[in-house]
Structure 1
Amino acid sequence: MTAITATHPPEWIVAEGRTPYAEALAAMEAHVAAIRAGTGRERVWLVEHDPTYTAGTSAKPEDLHDARFPVFAAGRGGQWTYHGPGQRTGYVMLDLHEPHGTVPARDIRAYVHGLEEWLIRALDRFNIRAERREGRIGLWVANRATGGEDKIAAIGVRVTRWVTWHGIALNVDPDLSHFGGIVPCGISEFGVTSIHAQGVPATMDEADSALRAAWNEVFG
């Protein structure tokens, strides 16, 4: 049998409304199993969640300062992350047995680098310069007021038998005060920002369009 993933590009699904986090976890797990079995198509699933704190496998209990929102063990790599309205969460389910654009097969480090590049190119469409930083997960932009840097996007992945799940979280226009209940990704000395906080009043649809266009440049 020829696997679906070998003959079709990933399907793009944009969820309407808000997707419960537990529902998203269950749906991802089921679809990853289908991809592994060769019966499911690779997928990029764009969702919005209600305010939620999620703990990665390296999360420290003391980095949860205020459990004002539901808390979930995500099962992905990384530490604490906030998801909520105004943030675009992208769940990426790819079969890394095969190369994808600039990402070679069976190379998790290159895959994460590809996710970073995807976000960098998407944000560049709004004239926002996001950059990687050694030793810090996510994408960072300059804070002109403080002279420091703020995080604009987070990355957390899981790979099961070379099929990826979880993915990215891009701050379009979330309530940035909601990040105060956690130490985002275990990094306390830097702040968080968003596309709107950078002075760009982009809509979620515009952010989705930028992500779609940039995807083809990296993974296409």
Structure 2
Amino acid sequence: MDAKSPSKRQSRGRNPRGQGERLREEIVAATLRMLNDLGDDQALSLRAVARETNVAATSVYLHFPDRDALVLAALERCHQNLMLAVQQAELTEEGPVAQLRGRTLVLGAWAHDHPGLYKVLHESTLNQHADMRFKEELGRTTTAAVQRCMDAGLAPTDDASRVALDLRAAVHGAVSMRVNQPDQPWPPLEDQIDRFLCKLVGVSPAPTPTETTGE
């Protein structure tokens, strides 16, 4: 090869000003696709991500010092996208009970559509040694949604954080079993979530005309 002829991997060259962040976003997006396919962060390599993004491995290292840093950044972006979907689901519903049900259904649907990412987000070893405090937002917003039901008189007054934790544990259990044992004859997740809302939160999942006022 002529010394002046760049290789295919080198053809990308230096990123113009402002494109470094775009490359970082491309790397994160590629990582999310691969993690969803693999369902295991330990099976991911930076070189494989570089190939998927069509850059040299050194370009990945410029943005992420190691695999854990890359996976953590990808999971944080994943969680941001999930929270945005939850917020949008709440905006399409009227009344605290319908909003609580809508956000909970989104969580179940997301896990069904992204089983690999769900496993890495909740079951990977990163949960044991990495700072994943960004996941606390889900707990806070679920607690707030439960509290709104209580404040409206649509659920028995209780410790909203404890009730929200019970609800999250039940939903995660139902979702995790579906992800890890997909061939089992599971009942519709919507039906289970309705039962969780009734038994754990104490609400009727069907919204009523007076829901927003609590009268």
TM range (shorter): under 0.3
TM-score, with structure 1 as normaliser? 0.26
TM-score (norm 2): 0.26
Query: Is the strand fraction higher in 1 or 2?
Result: 1
Who wins on radius of gyration, i.e. which is larger? 2
The structure that is helix-richer by fraction is 2
